[in-house]
Amino acid sequence: MKFRFLLWAMGLLMARASRNNPAFQQQLKGKDLVFQMQTLDGKVARHFIVSGERISSKGGSYPQPAFAIAFKDAAYGFATMQAGNKQLAFMQGIQDKNIQIKGNPALVMWFQGLMKYLKPKKS
């Protein structure tokens, strides 16, 4: 349940950033794709639609995403996305085969670059 909520909240944050953050919008220029985050068994899945320099998201699987990041289970996905050093957690998960990347790896790198725009601002 926590993983499902995290993906939903991530969709909201990205949708807001795509409306209000010029630097985030710049990263979306020229992109027209759908990507997905899910568990390996597909029980928890959310896809994110990038179109017209905006991002929206919907629950469930998409038939042919440009890329998908699949975590071994929801608890692992939640823990990885909440890790202090997310990049290290992702790399470790991929090496241990607890995270599988399907599709274009270059787009996964692009997505990880987007995530820096979602961090809360330091006061």
- The pLDDT tens digits of the residues spanning 22-80 come to 999 999 999 999 999 999 999 999 999 999 999 999 999 999 999 999 999 999 999 99
Among 92, 87, 42, residue whose Cα is nearest residue 65: 42
Residue 117: per-residue pLDDT: 83
Given a contact cutoff of 8 angstroms between Cβ atoms, the answer to whether 68 and 36 are in contact is yes
Average pLDDT on 95-117 reads 91
What pTM was computed for the model? 0.90
Q: What pLDDT is attached to residue 1?
A: 84
Say what the pLDDT of residue 122 is: 53
* φ/ψ bin of 82: left (φ > 0), alpha (ψ from -120 to 50), beta (otherwise): alpha
Buried b (16+ CB within 10 A) or exposed e, 77-113: bbebbeeeeeeebbeebeeeebbeeebeeebbebbee
Average pLDDT, the chain: 92
